[in-house]
Amino acid sequence: MADKKFDVVPLYEWGMFTEPRPSVVAGPCSAESEEQVMETAKGLRELGINVFRAGIWKPRTHPGCFEGVGAEGLKWMQRARKEYGVKIATEVAGEKHVAECLKAEVDMVWLGARTTANPFLVQEIADALKGTDIPVLVKNPVNADLDLWIGALERLSRAGIRKLGVIHRGFSTFDKIKYRNDPQWQVAIELRSRYPELPFFVDPSHMGGSRNYIQEISQRSLDLGFEGLMIESHCNPSVALSDAKQQLTPAELKDLLYNQIVVRESDSDSPEWRENIDQLRAKIDVIDENIIYTLGSRMRVSRQIGEYKKHNNIAILQTARWDQLFAKVVEKGEEYGLTEKFLTDVFNAIHEASVEAQNEIISGKK
């Protein structure tokens, strides 16, 4: 069943982003002082950034850290808007923040990951925004719960917000991984395919947690067809009061956007491209049919084994047999350039389905 579409205004009609991709929101993690806001906004404006972000109220993991300068910072942002012509954006986590932002005529707000995870707060924010047409971006919740993310979007949409988009910043994980937050791109891809109408940003700063990963995450995100990037930028990142490791100077951001990332076309009208791609896709279609046929055949044999086990009163699972089979699969797979991770995912799915089918036979459901 197709999901109901969100009634949204296309990104390029919000009056703040222009094609071509990527649409960039940049600015410091936090507004720290009037000088820092002005200097950073000036640097960003010079490289063509239209939308300036800065956190005013900061949700910090531990108490006692810098928790933002509060509404005072909005005045500095207003000054940056007036002098440099940038649009200004900040994070809101409750109705008081919304009221301050509306009073300061902030151009866009976003909900942070910790807020999206809390439906009470999201509803409070949605209620406070009712009747406005301010653009709102919704970061993913800290945990990889797609429904919770969609639920937040629904609450804002029901409040009449039509300039609505998302920011993927990755998910918290207890495991030690390369990035600060786990991208789990499949969740982002699922959201995009269910709601292609929603403008989609990726936040490589919070996802990577280090300036060293901003390029690779930005490139990945463009290659996946997402149109926007939110990147933290500070005039002097090494002394930033929050997220010092994941911010670029405006000059570094310029180098990233103009020299280090490649914007690939999502499609082309060239006849040569069309002919070649159509041929390759035809091949893929045949291979996919073969895969389905082969999986079907495997499943039939698996059911026969199930019947045979039932007849002989043998349990479904023989783990030694599975370990042996899988070792052979990995060895063979390597010859074809398939990684162990990929084979594990595929064969675990196959194994699970086989066990399920045999279980139905043995328990007499089929």
Can you give the binding site for ligand PEP, defined by CB under 6 A? 29, 55, 59, 91, 112-113, 139, 169, 203, 206
Minimum gap (Å) between residue 135 Cβ and ligand PEP: 16
Shorter beta-carbon distance to ligand PEP: residue 32 or 203: 203
Asked if 41 touches Mn ion (CB under 5 A), the answer is: no
Q: Nearest residue to ligand PEP, using CB? A: 112
Minimum gap (Å) between residue 246 Cβ and ligand PEP: 9
Q: Say how far apart CA 189 and CA 225 lie, in whole Å.
A: 10
Q: Say how far apart CA 5 and CA 2 lie, in whole Å.
A: 9
Shorter beta-carbon distance to ligand PEP: residue 91 or 100: 91
The interface region with Mn ion, picked from 81-89, 118-126, 237-245, 347-355 by CB under 5 A, is 237-245
Shorter beta-carbon distance to ligand PEP: residue 174 or 336: 174
- Taking alpha carbons only, the member of 82, 246, 98 closest to residue 180 is 246
Asked if 29 touches Mn ion (CB under 5 A), the answer is: yes
Shorter beta-carbon distance to ligand PEP: residue 74 or 357: 74
Among 237, 243, 254, 361, which residue sits at the site for Mn ion (rule: CB under 5 A)? 243
108 binds, among ligand PEP, Mn ion, none (CB under 5 to 8 A by kind): none
Shorter beta-carbon distance to Mn ion: residue 31 or 150: 31
Minimum gap (Å) between residue 207 Cβ and ligand PEP: 8
Asked if 203 touches Mn ion (CB under 5 A), the answer is: no
Shorter beta-carbon distance to ligand PEP: residue 163 or 206: 206
73 binds, among Mn ion, ligand PEP, none (CB under 5 to 8 A by kind): none
Minimum gap (Å) between residue 325 Cβ and ligand PEP: 43
- Positions touching Mn ion (CB under 5 A) are 29, 243
